[in-house]
Structure 1
Amino acid sequence: MRSQGRQTVVAACCLVLSLSAGVLAAVPSAQADPPDPAQKKKELDTKIGKSKAELAEAADQLGSAVAAYTDADAKLKVVEVRYAAAQGRLAAAKAADAVAAGKLAAAERSLRDAVSEVEAGQQQIVEKRAAAGKAVRSAYQQQNSLVGLSIALQGAAPTDVATGLQVQRNVFGIQSNAITNLNNAQAQLASKQAKLTAAEQSAAAARAEAARTVKQVTELTKQVAADKAEAQAVTTQKQILYKRAEREKISEQTEYNSLLAERNRVEQILIARARAEKAAAARRKAAREKAERDKARREGRPPRPVPNDPDNGDGGLSKPIDTYITSPFGMRFHPILHVWKLHDGTDFGAGCGTPIRAAASGRVTDKYYNGGYGNRLFISHGVIDGSSITTVYNHLSRYKARVGEHVTRGEIIGYVGTTGYSTGCHLHFMVYQDGRLVNPMKWL
């Protein structure tokens, strides 16, 4: 059903009726004033948990529960994707950390080796420098000009002189070799020092890379833990919402099944009532025909045609409220229950307290409060165009007509309200033709 542009679909728009002594509703009694609509509405709202309308057309409790579950499911999928991505980044960061740690270990080994080599080279330089100095001193001493004179003055033989010159040459050779070795050692030391510098730079870079990966691993570990916790929380919430939605779904399905059975039962009663009404009309016509035949026989003439009971169809039905339609009669597919449900009347939008008028002349047969339809009023209009017609007015704020009272077309019978299963002020208008629900617009 709908009011002010919003539809409120009464679950299958069922008829919650109980028959007693030929009356559709046993309570309240035929002539009793209806209970306080505001209080009844409050009780109903508490009972149904403020479930207001079918999910396809409004935001009832089932729709809200299902929507909340759907949102939680979507959120969980997003969180799970983010969690999986964070896990992937964490795994990559850990792998990078392992590589960086390996690089750092290798760089530090290279650095240690370079330091050792430099230290060894420095020691070698010290040794080579000492050897070179000794060789230079020795060579200096050996190359003194008095050596040859000493040999000559001592009367050395020529062979001795030659030997002395050879010694001198040997000394100068040793000096040259010592200097060369020293130069080579210094060059090697410079190379080792360059290697040491490169190793120190590589080790520093490896340490920085390792520090970055450690920081990244730490941050991603925290992110993964947070995403995991959120995923667990959303999963828990999703399970809660799922159970709630299932409860609402089961509740609505149970209510729908119950109300559908009740509607069918009431339809059968109204069908029987329409048949009885037509049978009574047929008996009245048969009695009139017999009387006409008897009269014609006494008067010695052929019987004249006898008309049916006077038809109450003075132009069909009139609109109970001269206003706009907010929701038409027809089948609606429930997206959660996956069943077709009948919106069994036409909704007219109007403010609470707006007068409601009889759609045609007739007799008020029933009025009572129902959890779905709120305050209801039934008028039997007798036979219109060959069919037994009953109109029903729902969600009234209060009544004006009484049960058993004969009302005329356009007479005020009650006032618009929002009692029962309703989200706003409006009139839910129903028509029964020969006991069966039909589209009211067929008769308006």
Structure 2
Amino acid sequence: MSAGVLAVVPSAQADPPDPQAKKKQLDSEIGQSKTDLNQAVDQLSKSVASYNQAETQYKAAQAKYAVAQGKLAAAKAADVVAASKLKAAEAALDGAMSDVVAGEQVIAEKQVVAGQAVRSAYQQQNRLVGLSILLQGASPADVATGMQVQRNVFGIQGTTITNLNNAQAQLANKRAKMAEAERQVAAQRAEAARTVQEVTKLTLQVAADKAEAAKVAAERMVAFKAAEKDKNTELAHYQSLVAERNRVEQILIARAKAEKAAAARRKAAAEAAEKAKAKKEHRPPRTVPTNPGNSSGLSFPINTYITSPYGMRFHPILHYWKLHDGTDFGAGCGTPIRAAASGVVTDRYYNGGYGNRIFISHGVIDGDSITSVYNHLSKYKARVGQRVAKGQIIGYVGTTGYSTGCHLHFMVYQDGRVVNPMKWL
């Protein structure tokens, strides 16, 4: 079975250069592309959070601008109403002033008429008194005629005075109306001035809010582009992981078929030899194990805690389901990693997503071809083609590749397909 065929760059040399020397170069290529334990990039989370904040601020600025526009429109409408009321009040004042002038003219005319009536009455009264004296002893008919004349004269005087009083009362009423009209005009002028002032203030506020909205919109666009860039980066990294996993699966599926066929041939040969030996020793043949060296399965590569289990999870930013294709063990960089079972190191290489990886083929266990993979290593301890024992140190924990911190991403391939490692631990 050939070894070292999984790496994109061939690693056929007996002892490839230690990856520690290339770590700085590789890390610089990765740059800020770091993920959390759920394979989400920290920078992406921050940029999306920044965009969400910018979006909230943008909506608030838009709302504020809309409110200011509404207030300005209302103020302008109020200004139109106030101007109309002022115009009406001024027209009413003009009418009231005209009525007062006309009333004063009527009063003047009435006063002239009344003065004439009073003088005439006074003169008539004096003559009638003299007449009454002269007529003393006159006939009753003559006296009655004199009294009727006197009543007529004083009747004319009373009517004139009443008309004057009425005209004066009407003038007072008109003056009161004019005073009220003047008060209304003053009030409407003050209201119009207030609306003009409010319109001016709100016009400035609308301009300021519009400028603020434009500024926030520009910041929002910058945040949006940053978030989109990081989203695309995250998506590209995840797609590269999927592509790498699919590529490895295709190779390991073919390798597993060959490995199982070889194991079947070895078992058939061992069973044939056991039957021949049993026949020679006159006993029943014993059961030949498929892979006696790994009959107990796999063991934990690190005696530490699990930080992220195998399984499907929903990406909170990209909004799709993705497979976390291994079990993450938390450990400090430099912590020794041990072979989960005895086997042969088939491959080791660097991948942009998985970092430094090492593959160990454990042969056929319980009828399945099993390969364990150790990712994000800081340094290798075993080389390609080397046979290692269960528990032997094969490398050290690191944070190379698509990783936010020191940990081991442990994977298991069963018959060439990735499965939950805990099934075999």
Q: Work out the CA distance in 1 between the residues paired with 2:271 and 2:391.
A: 35
Q: Work out the CA distance in 1 between the residues paired with 2:332 and 2:281.
A: 65
Q: Work out the CA distance in 2 between the residues paired with 1:361 and 1:57.
A: 30
TM-score normalized by the length of structure 1? 0.77
**Secondary structure of the corresponding residue to residue 242 of structure 2:** helix
Of all paired residues, the percent bearing the same amino acid is 65
Q: Work out the CA distance in 2 between the residues paired with 1:379 and 1:169.
A: 146
Q: 1:303 to 1:176 in 2, by over 3 A?
A: closer
Q: Work out the CA distance in 1 between the residues paired with 2:278 and 2:131.
A: 195
User: 1:122 matched to which residue of 2?
Assistant: 104
The one-letter amino acid paired with 2:89 is A
Does 1:192 pair with 2:192?
no
Aligned partners of 1:390 and 1:433 also within 8 Å: yes
User: 1:181 matched to which residue of 2?
Assistant: 163
Q: 1:259 to 1:412 in 2, by over 3 A?
A: closer
Q: 1:304 to 1:187 in 2, by over 3 A?
A: closer
**Secondary structure of the corresponding residue to residue 385 of structure 2:** coil
Q: 1:403 to 1:21 in 2, by over 3 A?
A: closer
Gaps of 5+ in 2: none
Does 1:52 pair with 2:43?
no
Deviation at 1:265, TM superposition (A): 2.0
From 404, 407, 411, the equivalent of 1:430 is 411
User: 2:5 matched to which residue of 1?
Assistant: 22
Does 1:359 pair with 2:362?
no
From 105, 117, 137, the equivalent of 1:135 is 117
Q: Deviations over 1:172-218 (max 9, x none)?
A: 44433332232222211211121122212222332233333333433
Deviates more, 1:35-44 or 1:98-107: 35-44
Q: 1:160 to 1:275 in 2, by over 3 A?
A: same
Q: Work out the CA distance in 2 between the residues paired with 1:292 and 1:356.
A: 38
Aligned partners of 1:417 and 1:426 also within 8 Å: yes
User: 1:373 matched to which residue of 2?
Assistant: 354
From 25, 32, 52, the equivalent of 2:17 is 32
Higher relative contact order (CA 8 A, sep 6+): 1
**Secondary structure of the corresponding residue to residue 429 of structure 1:** strand
Aligned partners of 1:152 and 1:161 also within 8 Å: no
User: 2:378 matched to which residue of 1?
Assistant: 397
From 331, 341, 344, the equivalent of 1:350 is 331
Aligned partners of 1:311 and 1:385 also within 8 Å: no
User: 2:307 matched to which residue of 1?
Assistant: 326
Aligned partners of 1:20 and 1:26 also within 8 Å: no
The one-letter amino acid paired with 1:133 is G
Q: Work out the CA distance in 2 between the residues paired with 1:348 and 1:188.
A: 105
Q: Work out the CA distance in 1 between the residues paired with 2:281 and 2:194.
A: 124
Q: 1:247 to 1:57 in 2, by over 3 A?
A: closer
TM-score normalized by the length of structure 2? 0.80
Q: Work out the CA distance in 1 between the residues paired with 2:263 and 2:278.
A: 22
**Secondary structure of the corresponding residue to residue 74 of structure 2:** helix
Aligned partners of 2:362 and 2:370 also within 8 Å: yes
Q: 1:145 to 1:340 in 2, by over 3 A?
A: closer
The one-letter amino acid paired with 2:288 is P
Q: 1:237 to 1:215 in 2, by over 3 A?
A: same
Gaps of 5+ in 1: 1-18
Q: Deviations over 1:319-343 (max 9, x none)?
A: 1111111111112233555543211
The one-letter amino acid paired with 1:144 is N
Q: Work out the CA distance in 1 between the residues paired with 2:124 and 2:274.
A: 178
Q: 1:103 to 1:313 in 2, by over 3 A?
A: same
**Secondary structure of the corresponding residue to residue 389 of structure 1:** strand
Q: 1:258 to 1:367 in 2, by over 3 A?
A: closer
User: 2:249 matched to which residue of 1?
Assistant: 267
Q: 1:150 to 1:343 in 2, by over 3 A?
A: closer
From 180, 186, 200, the equivalent of 1:218 is 200
Q: Where does 1:89-238 land on structure 2 (aligned, <5 Å)? A: 89-144=71-126, 148=130, 171-238=153-220
